[in-house]
Amino acid sequence: DIDCVYNRGRHCQLVMGPAGSGKSTYCATMMTHCQTAGRKVHLVNLDPAAEHFEYEPTIDIRELITLEDVMEELDYGPNGGLIYCLEFLMNNVDWLEEEIGNFDDDYLIIDCPGQIELYTHFPIMRRLCETLGRLNMTVCGVYCLESQFIEDKSKYFSGVLSAMSAMVNLEIPHVNVMTKMDLIEGDYGNKPLEEDEDDIEDDSESAAEKKRRKQKRRRRLMEKAMTDREMDRYLEPDPMLMTEEADLVHNGEQPSSRSLKFQALNQAIVQLIDDYSMVRFIPLNITDEDSVEYVLSHVDNSMQYGEDLEPKEPDDVKEYDE
């Protein structure tokens, strides 16, 4: 018998999402999980403003250009400087091709910047995807949205719209991930409802004040008692969520920092999302290995990782006597 080594092809995850959505934590979690599973995986940093990593990047854009240098020499702001850095990278794509060309059958996790306009308004990331395709790499976009977005329905739907925009613009296999689910699971169902001024009855308050206090407490109890079924409405965006938000306004309970003039716009956005039915989020709790594996299995399936196995001759061929 001859030992056989398998060529799994070249695959990479393009990790995107708003600033603070947990992209770097996602990358570190996936690095640990993949290495434990025996995959040869490397971290690629494309954020010129990044400072700290749990894993040292194998490929780092900061070796080519840094945001600090751009801001100092060209007098750009943070956002303009970051866009300049990514444009500089794509104008010097030979550097990236040379760096990636060193990997034969490895698995890359690419940590991208958090400026949403890079994925929705500029062609930079699409050009990057085309470059990776020319290098015979199968790319899966991973769009991260943090679970705290569900506390503000308008903010949540803006995140859904951004995810859908990235899916349409990049035209690559795509997986949307709801990050920081461990925080949600701690807030809902496990912690007792803390007492506040709305829980204290006052005989001197008017009927209207009592009604307002009871409505506010009822809302807090509803948020506290969020069930798995309720959470599913956020994992698979339910347009009725925004309708319910509008009903609160008409019932005399104005949502925080919300204006009536935006309701029509919100409804139009929700209708757009519902018409296309493209966005679905996979929950990720980084403290749960099963949750991490569940997300990874979706990413692998979307880019058919492991389905292109081809035997190749090992580096050291054993000699056998005839």
pLDDT digits (tens, 9 = 90+) for 225-250: 556 677 888 898 887 877 666 555 55
Which residue is associated with the tokens 């900061």? 62
Q: How many CB atoms lie within 10 A of CB 186?
A: 10
DSSP 8-state assignment for residue 117? H
Distance between CA 305 and CA 8 in Å, rounded?
A: 8
- Helices and strands, number each (H, E), in the chain: 13, 9
Residues 259 and 176 in one domain: no
Tell me the residue range of the domain where 255 lies.
238-276
Residue 194 lies in a domain: no
H or E element in which residue 2 lies: none
Domain identity same for 177 and 119: yes
Of 188-197, 251-260, 299-308, where does mean pLDDT reach its minimum? Answer: 188-197
Together in a domain, 66 and 145: yes
What distances in angstroms separate CA 265 from CA 164, 258, 269, 276, one per listed residue? 17, 12, 6, 17
Pair (123, 181) in one structural domain: yes
**Residues constituting the chain:** 322
Distance CA 195, CA 266 (A): 33
- Distance between terminal CA atoms of the chain? 13
- Write the CB contacts of 81 (distance below 8 Å, at least 6 apart in sequence): 48, 67, 70, 71, 74
Q: Is the pLDDT of residue 322 over 60?
A: no
Residue 220 lies in a domain: no
Query: Is 96 inside any structural domain?
Result: yes
pLDDT of residue 240: 80
**What is the full DSSP assignment across 211-236?**
HHHHHHHHHHHHHHT--HHHHHHHHT
- Per the structure, the count of domains in the chain is 2
Tokens 């699971």 locate to 185
Report whether 154 contacts 258 (CB < 8 A). yes
Does residue 160 lie in a domain region?
Answer: yes
- Distances, alpha carbon 188 to alpha carbons 149, 153, 198, in Å: 15, 17, 19
CATH number of 115's domain = 3.40.50.300
Pick from 121, 135, 119: which is nearest to 174 by CA?
119
What is the tens place of the pLDDT at every residue in 39-85? 889 999 999 998 888 899 999 999 999 999 999 999 999 999 999 99
Q: pLDDT at residue 11 above 70?
A: yes
Q: Residue 211 domain-assigned?
A: no
Q: Is residue 322 part of a domain?
A: no
258 and 297 together in one domain: no
94 and 107 assigned to the same domain: yes
Q: Is residue 203 part of a domain?
A: no
Task: Check whether residue 261 and residue 298 sit in a common domain.
Answer: no
Q: How much is the average pLDDT of 168-180?
A: 94
pLDDT level of residue 94 (50, 70, 90 thresholds)? very high
Average pLDDT over residues 6-34: 88
Same domain, 164 and 291: yes
Q: Is the pLDDT of residue 191 over 60?
A: no
Q: Do 232 and 247 share a domain, yes or no?
A: no
Checking if the pLDDT of 27 tops 50, the result is yes
Whether residues 158 and 268 share a domain: the answer is no
41 located within any domain: yes
In this predicted model, what pLDDT tens digit does every residue of 279-298 receive, in sequence order? 999 999 999 999 999 999 99
Same domain, 181 and 249: no
Token digits for 186?
């701690």
Average pLDDT, the chain: 81
Are both 242 and 118 inside the same structural domain?
no
